[in-house]
């Protein structure tokens, strides 16, 4: 494919240094995660993101994600793997997902029932609303007076042909989606606070097969490149769009690995003392996954890709801010919902204050060839979202699906083509955006939580730096 040039591409040829030439000094190896310089294919530095995230984003986001609207995630963990026989179900007790009790789910979420008609109302979370029309003389105490023989009953039946049309509408709307949102009959609510992401002991061939399939079969690759990971010096052989795809997958992978290292299941002996499990940071595991010595010098670059995907999802939140500022974040509790709306608006104002967002306008320019690449980009990512159903550990599957779906929502915001401009002055925030663009509740929940995972990873990196210094 012919390369698409723009200002961002030039930046990718800058080779940043980690710990001032960590390749040549054993001492500098110990600070490999102290990243410096400009983030590849972006226009800001690592230390700028560190300060912005740890001081402004992380504290606000941690508080926001504890709210009911964001902590309850509807997901289907029962889908069969469509690519290979699932013969490696995790039997470790820490792989189990603790289900929600019916009484714990906010009433406004239980009343939300996705169906084809939701397309008519923008896929918003809707509680049952009863509308009465008064003529001034109506006796509200007498239910018999509510029935008017002349008007008769409302016919609520919908023909089979109409339902077929609804399905066509939904299929057309789904063309912009980068992955499916779990809203089928087998989807159930999970309380994310009761099921934190951490290392469960799930590893081996099953886990490796997931990442092998993602990288080797779904990531774009340079010609004649057969290794699992693409070396950083080989990425420049690829166009910007293909580099972006690889970097977001690599960055998400790095983020997940940081979570597993910071919440690592400690020794079996300690687990016997604490039957519910004991988790904490594992520096040796962190070094094994990211040190230049154990990763052929690629580990620090994988950590840089974490910052890349962080900026990409930050940009998606900023771009969707006028839309999100107009959401109700409905759970059925007026006070809580009001607090969440206020907190979201404050959070989005901080997001939009960042001066160097990822610039998606440089991508997919160039006519029919660019449109074809964009569709390949979307289909590759949809494949990855389906691969998440092949994860053998339910808790790993839960968080894998959430982070992939959240990234998919971010890509939809950036590249759907229906959200090319923010609301202009003179109209209510989100008014124009909503007429052109829709997000389901599940997409909003995963968008915020996935970004929360990236924010947490960058914050945990600072913790590992402190441990290394000590």
Q: From CA 63, how far away is CA 58, in angstroms rounded?
A: 9
Is 271 annotated to bind ligand?
A: no
Q: From CA 83, how far away is CA 401, in angstroms rounded?
A: 16
| Kind and range of the H or E run holding 307 | helix 299-319
Strand ranges (DSSP E) for 81-221? 188-191
362 given a catalytic annotation: no
Is 255 annotated to bind ligand?
A: no
393 given a catalytic annotation: yes
Q: From CA 349, how far away is CA 310, in angstroms rounded?
A: 17
Three-state SS at 264? strand
Is 289 annotated to bind ligand?
A: yes
SS (HEC) of 131-161: CCCCCCCCCCCCHHHHCCCCCCCCCCCCCHH
Rg (alpha carbons) of the chain, rounded to whole number: 24
Is 132 annotated to bind ligand?
A: no
Cα first-last separation, the chain: 49
Three-state SS at 265? strand
Is 198 annotated to bind ligand?
A: yes
The length of the chain is 470
CB 389 within 8 A of CB 355: no
Is 457 annotated to bind ligand?
A: no
Q: DSSP code of 229?
A: S
| Dihedral pair phi/psi, residue 254, rounded to 5° | -60, -40
Three-state SS at 100? coil
Residues identified as active-site: 393, 396
Residue positions forming the annotated binding site for FAD? 198, 200, 211, 250, 253, 289
Residue positions forming the annotated binding site? 198, 200, 211, 250, 253, 289
């Amino acid at each position: 494919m012919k390369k698409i040039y723009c200002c961002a591409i030039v930046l990718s040829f800058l080779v940043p240094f980690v710990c001032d030439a960590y390749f040549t000094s054993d001492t500098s190896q110990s600070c490999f995660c102290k990243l410096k310089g400009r983030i590849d294919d972006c226009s800001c530095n690592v230390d700028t993101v560190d300060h912005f995230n740890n001081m402004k984003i992380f504290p606000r986001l941690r508080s926001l994600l504890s709210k009911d609207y964001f902590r309850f995630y509807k997901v289907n963990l029962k889908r069969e793997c469509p690519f290979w026989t699932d013969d490696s179900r995790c039997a470790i007790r820490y792989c189990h997902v603790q289900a929600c009790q019916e009484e714990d789910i906010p009433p406004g979420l239980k009343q939300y029932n996705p169906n084809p008609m939701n397309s008519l109302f923008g896929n918003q979370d809707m509680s049952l609303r009863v509308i009465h029309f008064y003529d001034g003389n109506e006796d509200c105490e007498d239910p018999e007076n509510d029935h008017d023989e002349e008007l008769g009953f409302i016919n609520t039946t919908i023909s089979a042909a109409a339902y077929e049309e609804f399905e066509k509408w939904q299929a057309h709307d789904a063309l912009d989606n980068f992955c499916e949102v779990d809203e089928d009959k087998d989807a159930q609510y999970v309380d994310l606070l009761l099921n934190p992401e951490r290392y469960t002991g799930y590893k081996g061939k099953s886990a490796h097969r997931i990442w092998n399939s993602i990288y080797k079969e779904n990531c774009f690759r340079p010609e004649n490149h057969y290794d699992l990971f693409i070396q950083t010096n080989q990425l420049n052989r690829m166009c910007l769009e293909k580099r972006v795809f690889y970097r977001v997958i690599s960055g998400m992978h790095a983020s997940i690995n940081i979570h597993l290292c910071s919440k690592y299941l400690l020794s079996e002996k300690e687990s016997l003392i604490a039957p519910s499990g004991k988790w904490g940071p594992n520096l040796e595991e962190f070094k094994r996954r990211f040190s230049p010595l154990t990763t052929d010098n690629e580990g620090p670059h994988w950590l840089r890709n974490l910052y890349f995907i962080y900026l990409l999802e930050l940009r998606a939140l900023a771009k969707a801010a006028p839309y999100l500022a107009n959401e109700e974040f409905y759970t059925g509790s007026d006070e809580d919902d009001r607090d969440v709306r206020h907190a979201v608006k404050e959070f989005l104002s901080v997001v939009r204050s960042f001066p160097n967002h990822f610039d998606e306008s440089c991508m997919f320019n160039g006519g029919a060839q660019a449109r074809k690449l964009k569709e390949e980009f979307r289909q590759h990512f949809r494949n990855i979202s389906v691969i998440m159903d092949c994860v053998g550990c339910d808790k790993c599957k839960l968080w894998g699906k959430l982070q992939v779906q959240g990234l998919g929502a971010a890509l939809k915001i950036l590249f759907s083509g229906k959200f090319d401009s923010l609301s202009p002055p003179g109209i209510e925030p989100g008014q124009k955006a909503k007429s052109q663009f829709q997000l389901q509740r599940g997409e909003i929940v995963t968008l915020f939580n996935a970004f929360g995972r990236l924010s947490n990873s960058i914050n945990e990196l600072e913790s590992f730096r402190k441990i290394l210094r000590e």
